[in-house]
Amino acid sequence: MSAGAALDATELLERVRTGELSARESVEAAFERIERHDGALGAFLETSRGPALERADELDRSRARGGEVGPLFGVPVALKSNMCLEGREANCGSRILAGYRPPYTATFVQRLIDAGAVPVGMTNMDEFAMGSSGENSAFGPARNPWDLERTPGGSSSGSAAAVCAGLVPLALGSDTGGSVRQPAALCGISGFKPTYGRVSRYGLIAFGSSLDQVSPLARSVRDLELVMSVISGEDPLDSTCQPLPPLEPLARREDLRGLRIGVPAEYFPDTLDRAVRARVEEGVAELARLGAEPVEVRLPHTEHGIPTYYVVATAEASSNLARYDGVRYGLRVEGDGTLQGMFAATRERGFGAEVKRRILLGTYVLSSGYYDAWYSHALKVRSLLLRDFEQAFETVDAIVCPTSPTPAFRLGEKTEDPVAMYLSDVMTVPTSLAGLPAVSVPCGFVPGGAGELPVGMQIIGPAMADAAVLAMARAYQEATAHHRRLPPLALEEARA
């Protein structure tokens, strides 16, 4: 059943539900694809064939006995390596957590399992989710299935590459400043960052706590809605998780009449890649053809998004990553034998260059004498960025713009220049700082790389408008076929 490479989860579920496929066959096929292609892709840091097949057999036996068939019954899923599943290595792409096996399971992972999904492995990522290309992984970068010399984006690089190549139909990533939307765009798949607080963070290893959100990646928006309906909702174990029921997808509409979409000039600067601009403008035109009314909006503080993000996120990271000190888990290097020496030697050996850079930056902006000028100031600019969006949403229902200013770039292209790498997040960080829901969907292709490279279009909504944002993106996909295109290796797999 190698045709599984071309199916989205909804189609796969249909085959499993009708009995055409068993849960075991569905999961086994995923492992066969992983075995054939992951050597070249580097999407997974760990796979768990034994436990996954056992779980699939359990599901099949339960169904044979007349047991419940959950909403994700028999669907293989990949988890980013910063997610806790009891006993599976969650190393966050870092040497400092190599070998770390959490003693508990994240709320959102447990909900996937309870819905019948089968975790097949932990995916590659930029160390502690810090990066936009996957190259900050201590275990080597994942590769883009459209062109193996290019990045799949980051930091959820392995989750995006795995879905793009059709190894699994669904994966979870985490999005702090664009870490799911940007790789979704660069890989030509769909990725959704929920409103902050819509999904519990219990069991997600922290980077920037006021920004981090668990975010799904899939081949279609309808699959994103399906996953959200399973993982979202109240969790007493996360005090920032909103006390709301799980997200329910909105009913299908014939068209988008009556909806106003804002097109912000600040997201279409002269420096924007011309081919990317053309594809996103075609996406806006398609939404207009479906009945939505495009309106110009202004988000005047957009240019301040990157600095604000890199002050706020690094400050939070410097605090969150203080716990990796060689005492409770992970690597320990004794150093000069003193306690302070052990801390410093462990952290020096365990963290990679970008993580150190961000810990230093975050410690600096929080340190006495610089706090007011940098951290406190950035929090005020963060308010201005949120105000921009709130003012725009007084007149429009959603904002449409590119997800990334360029298609997938070459591995190695930006590794020497941290500022250039940071700028690749320019279209995603303002939404993260404002805590808003945003989806990235493929909106076409541009010449490049080994042939063509995908382009992503971002649809941003007001806080808590998650279902409306997804419904608009679903309507777009029902009218277009960009999300149906497969990279060469998945295409061969589907034809085999």
Partner 1 sequence: MGRSDTETVLRTAELARLAIEPDEAERLGEQFARILAAFEAISRLDVSGVEPMTRATRLVDVKREDRPRPSLPLDEALRNAPRRIESYYSVPKTIGGEG
Active site residues: 80, 155, 179
In the DSSP assignment, the letter for residue 121 is E
Residue closer to partner 1 by CB (options 386, 491) is: 386
Question: Closest approach of Cβ 31 to partner 1, in Å?
Answer: 27
Distance CA 208, CA 203 (A): 14
Residue closer to partner 1 by CB (options 111, 150) is: 111
Q: Are 237 and 107 in contact (CB under 8 A)?
A: yes
Residue closer to partner 1 by CB (options 376, 391) is: 376
State whether residue 295 is helix, strand or coil: strand
DSSP labels for 156-168? Answer: SHHHHHHHHTTS-
Question: Closest approach of Cβ 201 to partner 1, in Å?
Answer: 11
Question: Closest approach of Cβ 391 to partner 1, in Å?
Answer: 14
DSSP labels for 66-102? Answer: T----TTTT-EEEEETTB--TTS---TT-GGGTT---
Residue closer to partner 1 by CB (options 15, 382) is: 382
Q: Which token pair is 443?
A: 């909106």
Residue closer to partner 1 by CB (options 31, 324) is: 324
Question: Closest approach of Cβ 483 to partner 1, in Å?
Answer: 29
Distance CA 214, CA 227 (A): 11
Residue closer to partner 1 by CB (options 38, 235) is: 235
Question: Closest approach of Cβ 302 to partner 1, in Å?
Answer: 12
Question: Closest approach of Cβ 219 to partner 1, in Å?
Answer: 29
Q: Which token pair is 366?
A: 């929080």
Residue type, 394: E
Distance CA 200, CA 180 (A): 17
Residue closer to partner 1 by CB (options 46, 293) is: 46
What is the DSSP pairing of strand 76-80 with strand 118-123?
parallel
In the DSSP assignment, the letter for residue 398 is E
Q: Are 320 and 355 in contact (CB under 8 A)?
A: no
Which residue bears the tokens 């941003």?
Answer: 460
Q: Which token pair is 20?
A: 């055409």
Distance CA 275, CA 277 (A): 5
Question: Closest approach of Cβ 58 to partner 1, in Å?
Answer: 23
Residue among 78, 69, 64, 55 at smallest CA distance from 13:
69
Reduced DSSP (H G I as helix, E B as strand, rest coil) percent helix, strand, coil of the chain, to 5: 45, 15, 40
Residue closer to partner 1 by CB (options 2, 209) is: 209
- Quick count: other Cβ atoms within 10 Å of Cβ 242? 19
Please state the three-class secondary structure of 419-470 as a single string.
Answer: HHHHHCCCCCHHHHHHCCCEEEEEEEEEEECCEEEEEEEEEECCCCCHHHHH
Question: Closest approach of Cβ 375 to partner 1, in Å?
Answer: 9
Terminal-residue alpha carbon distance, the chain: 9
Residue closer to partner 1 by CB (options 95, 377) is: 377
Q: Are 125 and 156 in contact (CB under 8 A)?
A: yes
Question: Closest approach of Cβ 202 to partner 1, in Å?
Answer: 12
Phi, psi of 292 (to 5 degrees): -70, 150
Residue 139 CB contacts under 8 Å (≥ 6 apart), including other chains: 42, 45, 93, 124
